[in-house]
Structure 1
Amino acid sequence: MTGIDPHDVPSAAQLVAAVREFLQTDVLPAVEGRVRFHTRVAVNVLAMVEREIDLGPAQADRHAARLAGLGVADEAELAEAIRAGRLPDDERLLAALEESVRAKLEVANPAYLQTQ
């Protein structure tokens, strides 16, 4: 955050982290069954939000650069260009698609990126 941030502390990221930690530390051990399952889901969702807040701006910049490098404005245009055969099926396209998927997994579930 810059010195000109219009919002006071705690930040959105800090608030999300506090709620996730409360659910994980205080609520999850005290509940069972359906409520436990839904609490685990909520903990995972909040962790995803934390990662998106943290990683999202830089990922968005890199994604825009990848798309521009392929000569398209957005993912819809990319999909259309691929379907229409306007993009060569080469290493550059494959690398861009892999990086896009990697960025999504870094937010959704980074454990999927770990090698077995």
Structure 2
Amino acid sequence: MQWTLDLPYDRPPLNANQRMHWAKKAALTKQVRAASFYAAKSAGVLRCDKVRVTLTWFVRTTTRRDADNVVPTLKALCDGLVDAEVVPDDTPDLMEKVMPVIVYRPGQQSGLQLYVEEVTDA
């Protein structure tokens, strides 16, 4: 099974270069977790033994961006999937987190998409 979750952001709300007060960061992290939770619930993501998660950031310009700066957003989104009971925890044996991907799409709207794929051990 696989699901594509459209997220309500045009850019990653959390990044590795941000310097903000801990309370503001905690509130933003909570918001991102909730967005992932509700996206998973509304898409009907089922409980799985193991999943592979890929975050894609669609951009409209060719400005240089560093994919690992997006990892804090991915972390919060994965925690939201745990909150939604997609998997019991986001440990490596239950959730494979793929490095975020940045895709240039000229003329289209920027946005974030979380791809969740059930992994079956063969």
Q: Compute the TM-score of the two structures, normalised by the length of structure 2.
A: 0.28
Instruction: Write 1 or 2 for the structure with the bigger share of strand.
Output: 2
Which is higher, the Rg of structure 1 or of structure 2? 1
Higher relative contact order structure (alpha carbons within 8 Å, sequence separation ≥ 6): 2
Instruction: Write 1 or 2 for the structure with the bigger share of helix.
Output: 1
